[in-house]
Amino acid sequence: MADTYRPGRYAVRSGAGIVEAELNETGLVVRYWDEPSRVWDWSQIAWAVPTRDGLKVVFTDQTDLRLGIDGVRREEFWRSVRTVVGLAALKGDLTPETVEGWLGVEPGQALVVRGWRWRRFWPGMALALLLLGGAAVGRHESWPILAWLLLACYLVGLASHLGQACDHVSADGQGLVARRGRRRVRCAWSQIRRIGGQMSPTIETEAGEIQLPPAAGTERLVEVVERVLALRAIGRGLPAEPPLAETALSRLTGEADAKERGLSLTESDHA
């Protein structure tokens, strides 16, 4: 699993009087039952190590703090601290070139994530209808059940497609451009505020929300967004100029002169 940065509150099992640990843009906040909360800046945190009964946070002054966080939440906390501390080793502010490397695209190109398209549903729908037709003229008792289950699965997928997920999201060194129908969201990396959701990740920006579609490239884009948020958490500057409007984007054809192409696209999910 790739490193991630997931700020939030983490419940802590009883021990040392700690009730809750919180990761935010400032750093680590630890709340106690009967004592004032303690706060550590990210610059004071050196590392985090999983232990048998939770986590051990190591600070730059060689002191440490043990937190009883279990299961998946322990993994999230550990990876969040490791991501921020690791990115802190980067010198200076975040550059578009670094983002392009994270996205896995060539300079001047963009990672493109496309949502499901209508014609992708037709093969399954046709197969379901064929099975229903076969059940009507045949005698195999399991055919109607199988056909209806298959049809139900595709209808659920169709409902998901008709939800709030964007049809098209492109990410380059400057930021994001998202489209759903006539709605457009265009933002720089510095305008991203947070990301949430597991099955359907949603990026909150100053320009609006971007719900990512379940498609190839989504996981990589989520990882990049989390790295950007981790750098924001330690005070690094982020690209502040939004990318070109979508109308200025063009695919690489190898025919036009590079100066006439504008920003090129790298398709992560072909139709």
Q: Same structural domain for residues 14 and 132?
A: no
Q: Which of 161, 180, 215 is the last residue of a domain?
A: 161
Task: Sort 84 into a burial class: Cβ within 10 Å, 0-12 / 13-18 / 19+.
Answer: buried
Residues 63 and 192 grouped into a single domain: no
262 and 170 part of one domain:
yes
Clarify whether residues 193 and 253 are in a common domain: yes
Same domain, 22 and 146: no
Q: Beta strand 27-32 with 18-23: parallel, antiparallel or unpaired? A: antiparallel
Domain presence at residue 61: yes
Residue 1 inside a domain? The answer is: no
Contact indicator for 176, 186 with CB cutoff of 8 Å? yes
Whether residues 110 and 133 share a domain: the answer is no
243 found inside a domain: yes
Q: Is residue 2 part of a domain?
A: no
User: Are 70 and 107 found together in one domain?
Assistant: no
Rounded to an integer, what distance in angstroms lies between the CA atom of residue 127 and that of residue 118?
16
CATH code at 43? 2.30.29.30
Identify whether residues 75 and 200 lie together within a single domain.
Answer: no
Same domain, 231 and 139: no
In this prediction, residue 252 carries a pLDDT of 33
Query: Cα 195 to the chain's mean position, in Å?
Result: 6
Domain range for 253 is 96-115+165-267
Whether 16 is in a domain gets the answer yes
Residues 25 and 105 in one domain: no
- One DSSP character per residue, the chain reads -------EEEE--SSTTEEEEEE-SSEEEEEESSS--EEEEGGGEEEEEEETTEEEEEETTS-EEEE---HHHHHHHHHHHHHHHHHTTS-SS--HHHHHHHHT--TTEEEEEE---GGGTHHHHHHHHHHHHHHHHS--THHHHHHHHHHHHHHHHHHHHTSS--SEEEE-SSEEEEEETTEEEEEEGGGEEEEE-SSS-EEEETTEEEEPPSSTTHHHHHHHHHHHHHHHHTT-----SPPPPGGGEEE--SSS-HHHH-EEEEESS--
241, part of any domain: yes
Residue 262, pLDDT score? 35
pLDDT of residue 116: 63
> Does some domain include residue 3?
no
Do 107 and 202 belong to one domain?
yes
Same domain, 191 and 123: no
Q: What is the pTM of this model?
A: 0.66
- Give the model's pLDDT for residue 232: 87
- The domain that holds 209 is classified in CATH as 2.30.29
Is residue 205 included in any domain, yes or no? Answer: yes
Question: Number of structural domains, the chain?
Answer: 3
Q: What pLDDT sits at residue 141?
A: 60
Q: Which residues of the chain have pLDDT under 50?
A: 1, 118-119, 247-271
